[in-house]
């Protein structure tokens, strides 16, 4: 299946995706789904995936996100997204086998328990979504989310195991410790793992610098004065 097979649906899919994702906004707004779409399509072309399945799933993968947020995590957005996607795809005229393939990608993109992504397209979507959660983009999204829920800026002195999501301690740094730092080991394609290593290295550099600027300012000033008088 070529990208050309996606073209007749693309404008409608973008509109549908945007409508659902604007309800969520913030770090899971329409821009996130569009970035995942472009990353997934680039990876899909390199790995010879079915682009109709992959592109459709990428644009619809987070349409259940708002239901998860409203339930504070009780509803799985991946499962809810697959439920919502089925009648949408039927109305758009997708073939039944393609609908099943797209829904599998959506439902398994948040794999934690149960059946992992089975198809190449599902594995690529999983990786593309995870890649958008790390690196410079991931850090920006983590701070955006922390701002949405009213979390503090930085709290490395706090044990992440003693904090809760959606709390004042749910900072970008907590997100890095609990989730983002582990992503590089979770990706399912070789290409995804290579891309993740680069983004992981940047995150370590960024948070090291952030710690230095907040907690090491006296040492930095002393070093500046030493250089001045050297």
Look at the block and give the residue holding tokens 């404008």.
11
d(CA 159, CA 84): 38
Residue-averaged pLDDT of the chain: 89
Distances (CA, A) of 13 to 17, 19, 189, 215: 6, 10, 26, 47
> Quick one: CA dihedral 85, 87, 93, 94, positive or negative?
positive
Residue 96, class by beta-carbon neighbours within 10 Å (0-12 exposed, 13-18 middle, 19+ buried)?
exposed
pLDDT band for 77, please (50, 70, 90 cuts).
confident
**Spacing of C-alpha 137 from chain mean position:** 9
- Of 77 and 126, the structure prediction assigns the larger pLDDT to 126
Contact partners, residue 126, CB within 8 Å, separation at least 6:
108, 109, 111, 117, 187, 188
Q: Is 153 helix (H, G, I), strand (E, B) or coil?
A: coil
Residue (of 21, 94, 27, 93) closest to 58 by Cα position: 21
Q: What is the pTM of this model?
A: 0.86
**pLDDT for res 141:** 93
List pLDDT tens digits, range 41-67.
999 999 999 999 999 999 999 998 876
* Six-digit token string for 122: 């599902």
> What pLDDT score does 1 carry?
39
Query: How sure is the predictor about 129, in pLDDT bands with cuts at 50, 70 and 90?
Result: very high
Cβ burial, residue 61 (10 Å; 0-12/13-18/19+): buried
Q: Where are the domains of the chain?
A: 1-113, 133-230
More confident residue, 227 or 91: 91
Structurally, what CATH architecture does the domain formed by 1-113 represent?
A: Orthogonal Bundle (1.10)
pLDDT confidence of 221, banded at 50, 70, 90?
confident
Tell me the pLDDT tens digit for each residue of 166-216: 788 889 999 999 999 999 999 999 999 999 999 999 999 999 999 999 888
Q: Give me the percent of the chain exceeding a pLDDT of 90.
A: 63
pLDDT in tens, 88-106: 999 999 999 999 999 999 9
Q: Using CA atoms, how far apart are residues 86 and 99, in angstroms rounded to an integer?
A: 7
- The pLDDT of 148-168, averaged and rounded, is 86
pLDDT higher for 2 or 170? 170
Of 1.10.760.10, 3.30.465.10, 3.40.50.740, 1.20.58.1910, the CATH number of 133-230 is 1.20.58.1910
């Amino acid at each position: 299946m070529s990208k050309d097979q996606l073209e007749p649906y693309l404008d409608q899919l973008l509109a549908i995706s945007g409508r659902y994702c604007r309800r969520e906004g913030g770090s899971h707004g329409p821009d996130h789904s569009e970035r995942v779409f472009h990353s997934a399509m680039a990876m899909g072309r390199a790995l010879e995936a079915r682009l109709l399945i992959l592109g459709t799933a990428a644009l619809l993968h987070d349409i259940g996100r708002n239901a998860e947020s409203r339930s504070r995590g009780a509803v799985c957005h991946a499962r809810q997204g697959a439920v919502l996607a089925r009648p949408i795809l039927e109305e758009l005229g997708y073939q039944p086998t393609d609908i099943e393939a797209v829904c599998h990608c959506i439902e398994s993109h948040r794999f934690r328990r149960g059946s992992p992504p089975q198809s190449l397209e599902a594995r690529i979507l999983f990786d593309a979504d995870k890649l958008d959660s790390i690196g410079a983009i991931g850090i920006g999204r983590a701070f955006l989310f922390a701002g949405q829920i009213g979390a503090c800026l930085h709290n490395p002195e706090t044990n992440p195991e003693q904090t809760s999501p959606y709390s004042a301690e749910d900072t970008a740094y907590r997100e890095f410790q609990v989730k983002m730092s582990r992503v590089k080991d979770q990706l399912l394609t070789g290409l995804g793992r290579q891309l993740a290593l680069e983004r992981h290295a940047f995150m370590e550099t960024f948070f090291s610098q952030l710690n230095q600027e907040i907690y090491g300012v006296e040492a930095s000033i002393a070093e500046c004065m030493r250089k001045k008088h050297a």
